[in-house]
Amino acid sequence: MSPLERYRAKRDPTRTPEPVPPTDAPATKRGRSEKAHPDRKGQELSFVIQEHHARSLHWDFRLERDGVLVSWAVPKGLPLQRGVNHLAVHVEDHPLEYASFTGTIPEHEYGSGTVTIWDRGSYEATEWTDESVKVTLHGSRVEGRHGLFRTDGDNWMIHRIDPAPPGWEPLPGLIRPMLATASNELPGADKDWAYEFKWDGVRAVVYVEGGRVRALSRTDRDVTGSYPELRGLGEALGSLQVVLDGEIVALDAQGRPSFETLQPRMNTSEPGRVRRLAKSVPVTYMIFDVMHLDGHSALEVAYCERRKLLEGLELAGPHWAVPLSQAGGGAVVAKAASDAGLEGVVAKRLDSPYRPGLRDPNWRKVKNFRTQSVVIGGWASGQGHLQGDLGALLLGIPKLGGLDYIGRVGTGFDAAERSLLLGQLSRLARASSPFNGVVPRTEAAGVNWVDPVLVGEVRFTEWTRTGRLRQPAWRGLRVDQRPEEVVVEP
């Protein structure tokens, strides 16, 4: 059987731009026919790696041998870290002409999608059997010794034999987001700061490797499945290895980011419901920082330089964007945020490094309206048409192993939110109050106490002299925060 018989059987030359040599094709320009003798050990031949945006992004690794390109599809690309194995699926041999192919394979054709050349060069084989291949690559992006070994049928593994390139660092498994301190006013030395809009959403750190996305919340919870819109970001970044910081937002009927609108998405992970909500409540990932890029940490890099790195990625897609950051002119940015009905602004020192997991004064948030994270310590039944349903929540701020009572909230809930909260609170019931001291009798009557583990957010007008919230309205649960992170905001 001809080495290219499987290749030809999968392709119609009248419907694909790929090279499809006829069965009686003459010898290639290199003078090697399909029946050429096996390559001699150590002989230098060509290789190519093609980035293939098909139904699932992958990289096609092709080695010239016996007049064809022996090929593997590698879903996560060639690993740079020694000892790490990536799946490599052995596919049909390709003609040598395919080494220079770039283009788009039409929809409904085999391998439909866009093909580009990611790297190419020469290689020497030091071992080649039916079970194992070892080669030394000489490309512009990939250098050094690599090995492949068969695991089961067409499934192989590929790994790097040589050490990683000098200075290269693997993608970190966890970088917690840097947090801003609350402030009532913009910083003084305006020229030393950059200003961004404050987005009314939920924080997410996104890790991209091999075109695959993993999104973690502030509490290190994997929320990738809740936001399938982010998968396309991995495709857009291709082989780049990146850790990004940003906020996931949903828009309300007026086109403004709205924490309340985002609530259904935050509290859903069931795949079927996620798919439905992705259509009715789509989200956008607002990216404002980069902490790791292509094998190099950016944590100690100044904010102004990190922004240049971020903007250089040119990330603009249907569900992700890099919003404006303006050096100086804080008052102008704050007014624009207020006029647009946005939550506020975040000021960041131009020379500030990234401090994972810390609330740092080099980042300051200034809000246009007052919100407060709260911990739920109990709930009261409703009256009238809400009899037997959730009527109000009793709220607190963690202190001295318990909660300092800050008031009740009974507005801002819709029917779905009441049902969601009641279901979660019923599983947290306890006999005693979690609050420090005594809750006023008029506010504690008929209350159901709960373990203080659920965090939410309220909007309010001001703090009273006695430390209570004035006119609070419920905004939603904060599944991205831990109770111990909740502090009084000015």
H-helix or E-strand spanning residue 151: strand 143-152
The sign one gets for the Cα dihedral 422, 424, 426, 431 is: negative
Q: How many CB atoms lie within 10 A of CB 96?
A: 21
CB 214 within 8 Å of CB 222:
yes
From the candidates 10, 76, 134, 198, which is the catalytic residue?
198
Q: For residues 243 and 191, give the distance between their C-alpha atoms in angstroms, rounded to a whole number.
A: 28
Q: For residues 66 and 23, give the distance between their C-alpha atoms in angstroms, rounded to a whole number.
A: 16
Using CA atoms, how far residue 128 sits from 14, 75, 133, 148, 149, in Å, is 35, 22, 4, 9, 10
Chain position carrying tokens 């318990």 = 402
Please tell me whether residue 38 adopts helix, strand or coil conformation: coil
Q: For residues 204 and 196, give the distance between their C-alpha atoms in angstroms, rounded to a whole number.
A: 17
Which positions ≥6 away from 436 have C-beta within 8 Å?
399, 400, 402, 403, 404, 405
- The answer to whether residue 198 is catalytic is yes
Which positions ≥6 away from 448 have C-beta within 8 Å?
378, 379, 380, 381, 425, 429
Please tell me whether residue 179 adopts helix, strand or coil conformation: strand
Give the side-chain half-sphere CA count within 13 A for 186: 22
Which positions ≥6 away from 100 have C-beta within 8 Å?
117
CB 398 within 8 Å of CB 484:
yes
Using CA atoms, how far residue 287 sits from 72, 83, 203, 393, in Å, is 34, 32, 10, 34
DSSP per-residue letters across 333-369 = HHHHHHHTT--EEEEEETT----TT-EEEEEEEEESS
CB 395 within 8 Å of CB 375:
yes
Q: How many CB atoms lie within 10 A of CB 157?
A: 16
CB 343 within 8 Å of CB 425:
no
Which positions ≥6 away from 25 have C-beta within 8 Å?
none
Q: For residues 423 and 379, give the distance between their C-alpha atoms in angstroms, rounded to a whole number.
A: 12
Q: What's the distance, CA 466 to chain centroid?
A: 42
**Which active-site residues does the annotation give?**
198
